[in-house]
Amino acid sequence: MDKTLKRMATMQRMQVTGLELFYKNGYYNTSVDDILKELSLSKGAFYYHFESKEDFFIQIIENLLVRKMYSMLIEPIEGHENTLDLITSCFEEALETAVHNELDFGFVLSNFVNEFNGKNERIMKHLNDILRIWEANLVSAIQRGKFNGYIDRHVDSEGVAVYLMSAYIGVRTLMVEIAPSARKYRFMSQLRQYFKSLEPKRDNSLNHQTVYGSAN
């Protein structure tokens, strides 16, 4: 096999297995040897390809986590239809993978935020970057929804974005142990309820000020 190909293949295998184990057991609770044992590789191979465990992890963030966040939580809502529907089905799908205990990258992200917060500034910087991208993307989706008439124009786009991310991250935390499927269902129907309240009010324009923007 071509040497560069072999290099890429080995690094890829290490990163995939690394992310799996880091997700399952946490970064600090997963030793490099754990990953290597899984792959029947040695310390030498690892430190030949990566500078350090931390460096390894950052490459995982950049190569796997960022891409997956894009494909699961960012690109799916970049269409130009009703953005609230897009977000709904996007969350629906992401939470479904969570129910089946598969890797759900929105959660992986929030998990790592929890684990590294206050402990590793360098890694936090990378994680925060992803959060910011997610947030910015949600904000522009909401704004698009307003522009297209699916969302009331008085709605605070940034507020909704923060609220959505909060709710998503939170429900994933709650789903880890107790009744994930039931919690997903309940969560989703409350999300729909909340989205209903963001729709444009056409019937009575006098109510707008009281319903929205308690901006004091």
Partner DNA sequence: ATTTAAACCGACTATCAAGTCGGTTTATTT
Partner DNA sequence: AAATAAACCGACTTGATAGTCGGTTTAAAT
Q: List interacting residues with its own copies (CB under 8 A).
A: 24-26, 28-29, 110-111, 113-115, 117-119, 124, 128, 131-132, 156, 158-160, 162-163, 165-171, 173-174, 176-178, 183, 186-187, 189-194, 196-198, 211-215
Q: Which does 10 bind (CB under 5 to 8 A by kind): its own copies, DNA, none?
A: DNA
CA pair distance 148, 211, nearest whole angstrom: 21
Contact flag: residue 47 with DNA (CB under 7 A)? yes
CA pair distance 2, 66, nearest whole angstrom: 28
CB 187 to its own copies: min, Å? 6
165's CB contacts (< 8 A; 6+ apart) are 131, 134, 135, 138
Q: 22: which 2 tokens? A: 């880091």
Could you tell me the CA-to-CA distances from 204 to 20, 26, 45, 99, 190 in Å, in that order? 52, 52, 68, 41, 24
Contact flag: residue 122 with DNA (CB under 7 A)? no
CA pair distance 38, 137, nearest whole angstrom: 37
Q: Which does 31 bind (CB under 5 to 8 A by kind): DNA, its own copies, none?
A: DNA
CB 13 to its own copies: min, Å? 23
Q: Which of 12, 31, 71, 181 binds DNA (CB under 7 A)?
A: 31
Contact status, residue 213 vs residue 156, Cβ threshold 8 Å: yes
Q: Which is nearer to DNA, 54 or 81 (by Cβ)?
A: 54
Interacting residues with DNA (CB under 7 A): 1-4, 6-7, 10, 30-34, 40-45, 47-49, 52-54
